[in-house]
Amino acid sequence: MTQKPLPLILIPGTDANGNRFDSFMNELMKQVGKKDILKINVKTDGTTEYTSSLGKDSTNPFIVISFSDSSENGVDRQAKWTEVAMKKAHQLYSFKSYNALGHSNGGLVWTIYLENAAYQSSSQMKSLITLGTPYNYLDPKANPYPDRTSLTETDMLKQMISKREKLPNSLKMISIGGNYKEDSDGIVPLTSALSSSRIYKEKVASYSEKIFNGDNARHNMLTENPEVINYIIHTLY
């Protein structure tokens, strides 16, 4: 029986480019085998540029989506540009379903995309993993821990909660937070990263959370953390 194509599509965070996941992908390939890689960058005028090692026999490649404007306040635009990138990905590789990963604001981009455009796509997201995503922004006072119930919801979080009915109910969602110091990964409070529960929990097929601790749980180290990498491999492969 032929294996159905199931690429892993990755979106990096603020001010990151298409090379952000290079080390992460290399570490994954050490354990799951070599993968072809497609990198699509969406420019501010909505056009795309790409580099590709895809061949006709490529199986479950990595697809990295990046944006020429990856600024912090641009997540809504980046979600729109994700629609453009997904169309380009479909032109270059044939797939009906995929897994997705977002680091930092990349997780916000995926969430906004899912709530606004995914239903129009010709493919379905099976699993989503977000790493250190600031669903409720960065203010520690608004994101107390461990009493997560007393957080102060930002307008952005309220907006994502208000559209949760549009999330695909077949989705498996995993939210990863880092606990490096002071109940945060050094940038994103744990409660903010895990306020994904208010968007996804009891709306998608399964929702789970995972917290990683220590020096390697720093925000920018989450994609380099061997424990995180092993967890993702176990979850997706």
Record the tokens describing residue 227, joined without a space: 């424990």
Say if strands 62-67 and 124-131 run parallel, antiparallel, or are unpaired.
unpaired
% of the chain with per-residue pLDDT over 90: 94
Measure the CA–CA gap between 220 and 225, rounded to whole angstroms.
Answer: 10
Band of pLDDT at residue 119, cut at 50, 70 and 90: confident
144: preceding bond cis by omega (within 30 degrees): no
Say if residues 228 and 176 touch (Cβ distance below 8 Å). yes
Question: Does 1 have pLDDT greater than 60?
Answer: no
Residue 208 pLDDT: 98
Measure the CA–CA gap between 98 and 86, rounded to whole angstroms.
Answer: 11
Question: Does 3 have pLDDT greater than 90?
Answer: no
Record the tokens describing residue 104, joined without a space: 């930092």
What are the boundaries of each domain within the chain? 8-236
Looking at 1.50.10.20, 3.40.50.1820, 3.20.20.150, 3.30.70.2860, the CATH number of the domain 8-236 comes to 3.40.50.1820
pLDDT in tens, 138-179: 999 999 999 999 999 999 999 999 999 999 999 999 999 999
Lowest mean pLDDT among 31-40, 76-85, 115-124, 215-224: 115-124
At which residue do the structure tokens 């990046």 appear? 66
Say if residues 195 and 157 touch (Cβ distance below 8 Å). yes
Residue 220, by phi and psi: left (phi above 0), alpha (psi -120 to 50) or beta?
A: alpha
Measure the CA–CA gap between 108 and 97, rounded to whole angstroms.
Answer: 20
Is residue 190 exposed (0-12), middle (13-18) or buried (19+ Cβ within 10 Å)? buried
Using only the alpha carbons of the chain, give its radius of gyration: 17
Question: Does 203 have pLDDT greater than 90?
Answer: yes
Residue 4 pLDDT: 79
Say if residues 15 and 70 touch (Cβ distance below 8 Å). yes
Residue 39 pLDDT: 99
